Amino acid sequence: MKTQAAVAFAAGKPLEIVELDLQGPQAGEVLVEIKATGVCHTDAFTLSGDDPEGAFPAVLGHEGAGIVREVGAGVTSLKPGDHVIPLYTPECRECEYCLHPKTNLCQSIRSTQGQGVMPDGTSRFSFEGKPVLHYMGCSTFSNYTVLPEIALAKVREDAPFDKICYIGCGVTTGIGAVAFTMKVEPGSTVAVFGLGGIGLNVIQGARMVGADRIIGVDLNPAREALGRQFGMTDFVNPKDVDDVTQHIIEMTGGGVDYSFECIGNVNVMRQALECAHKGWGQSCIIGVAGAGQEISTRPFQLVTGRSWRGSAFGGARGRTDVPKIVDWYMDNKIDIDTLITHTMPLSDINTAFDLMHKGESIRSVVVY
């Protein structure tokens, strides 16, 4: 079949809207009509050429929602008409990782997904007879895409695609880091570094689990009002203080119980660790730093009881947890609508990248 797609033909170039050929689903695979997709920082990171795993040409996009149109042989958990959210972190429920209680990083299709191909080692997309790669196993910048069954969460049918697509990455990453990875307790003091599409979701996650004090840190003063709307109690602009770490230690009388780095800046990762309370403070890295960058701190920071953690896709097991997060949205426990600042057709997708780079959007959503 044919599908309209925004293709990344080369690093650093705008996406091009073209018609691709798409092969139908093979055994264990599912054809999905994507109805909406968010444009995430990570798509921009890969498009920039800084992603060591990035390969071209590829159909980017990993934050979608849509409808199953066809299933391949052996698919049992999905049928045509089901509403789904693609999962860049799949959940096979059988591999060593899925069976381990401490991780969500299913490895069953990891190597082929990282190479931009389906589990059988080939791509379903082609352009003028030449293969075009998949991306993060999702490729939601195509109106139709093929995914393994284990990389799709079935969700309720009354949830709007143009909002729940954001649960495919940003919402789950932020809220999940609080609820699933760090298991923040009610009454905790939390610091969130970077109040973008991820950090604002960390803030609403912290509010949802009952954190008492939520300190937001951002260089962009316009993020203060949004942060407060999502539950932030204090705002710090690093430009207004001598030393952010010392400032947070002083304002909390010793440091925070939990901190989250939601930028991808290794210097900020150090600030986030070092503002965690001596003896018990834990810091979670969510931001993805550029290739080859390293974090540093004095080991005595850890000797004296701080711990450094990390979270991918919010620690969520996609097929199990994503439908629950859709319920939280439908039950008004979390707000997604306010964070979707722009909506556009596929033909305007490059505008979404421009708005992100200028810091003017929180989330842009492409609606097919």
312 scored as a contact of ligand NAD (CB under 6 A): yes
106 scored as a contact of Zn ion (CB under 5 A): yes
Whether 167 and 325 have beta carbons less than 8 Å apart is answered as yes
What CA–CA distance (Å, rounded) separates 118 from 114?
Answer: 10
33, 69, 92, 224: the catalytic one is 92
138, 169, 262, 275: the catalytic one is 169
State which of residues 36, 40, 138, 349 lies at the interface with Zn ion (CB under 5 A).
Answer: 40
At a CB cut-off of 8 Å and minimum separation 6, what does 343 contact? 162, 364, 365, 366, 367
Report the nearest approach of ligand NAD to the CB of residue 315 (Å).
9
Stretch that binds Zn ion, among 33-41, 131-139, 158-166, 354-362 (CB under 5 A): 33-41
Choice between 119 and 196, CB closer to ligand NAD: 196
37, 41, 245, 270: the catalytic one is 41
Stretch that binds Zn ion, among 6-14, 35-43, 133-141, 311-319 (CB under 5 A): 35-43
What CA–CA distance (Å, rounded) separates 70 from 110?
Answer: 24
Report the nearest approach of ligand NAD to the CB of residue 19 (Å).
29
* Residue 261-280 contact track with ligand NAD, rule CB under 6 A, x = bound: -xxxx--x------------
With CA atoms as reference, report the closest residue to 319 among 113, 60, 90: 90
Stretch that binds ligand NAD, among 15-23, 150-158, 257-265, 331-339 (CB under 6 A): 257-265
Active site residue 40: yes
Q: Which does 98 bind (CB under 5 to 8 A by kind): Zn ion, ligand DAO, ligand NAD, none?
A: Zn ion
Choice between 132 and 236, CB closer to ligand NAD: 236
288 scored as a contact of ligand NAD (CB under 6 A): yes
Report the nearest approach of ligand DAO to the CB of residue 104 (Å).
9
Active site residue 156: no
Report the nearest approach of Zn ion to the CB of residue 7 (Å).
19
Whether 344 and 139 have beta carbons less than 8 Å apart is answered as no
What CA–CA distance (Å, rounded) separates 187 from 291?
Answer: 37
Active site residue 110: yes
Q: Which does 110 bind (CB under 5 to 8 A by kind): Zn ion, ligand DAO, ligand NAD, none?
A: ligand DAO
The tokens describing 3, both together, are 């599908």
Determine the 3-state secondary structure of 360 from DSSP.
Answer: coil
Determine the 3-state secondary structure of 57 from DSSP.
Answer: coil
169 scored as a contact of Zn ion (CB under 5 A): yes
Cis omega before residue 80 (within 30°)? no
The tokens describing 70, both together, are 């066809």
Beta strands in 267-328 (DSSP E): 282-285, 307-310
Active site residue 284: no
With CA atoms as reference, report the closest residue to 143 among 37, 72, 46, 13: 37
Active site residue 106: yes
What CA–CA distance (Å, rounded) separates 206 from 187?
Answer: 10
Cis omega before residue 221 (within 30°)? no
CB atoms within 10 A of CB 265: 17
Choice between 173 and 252, CB closer to Zn ion: 173
* Residue 349-368 contact track with ligand NAD, rule CB under 6 A, x = bound: ----------x---------
Active site residue 63: yes
Q: Which does 116 bind (CB under 5 to 8 A by kind): Zn ion, ligand DAO, ligand NAD, none?
A: none
Rg (CA), the chain: 20
CB-hemisphere CA count at 13 Å for 258? 29
Given the structure tokens 């200028």, which residue do they identify?
358
**232 phi and psi, to 5 degrees?**
-65, 135
List, by residue number, the catalytic residues.
Answer: 40-42, 62-63, 92, 95, 98, 106, 110, 169, 363
List interacting residues with Zn ion (CB under 5 A).
40, 42, 92, 95, 98, 106, 108, 169
List interacting residues with ligand NAD (CB under 6 A).
40-42, 45, 169, 173, 193-199, 217-220, 223, 238, 262-265, 268, 286-288, 311-313, 359
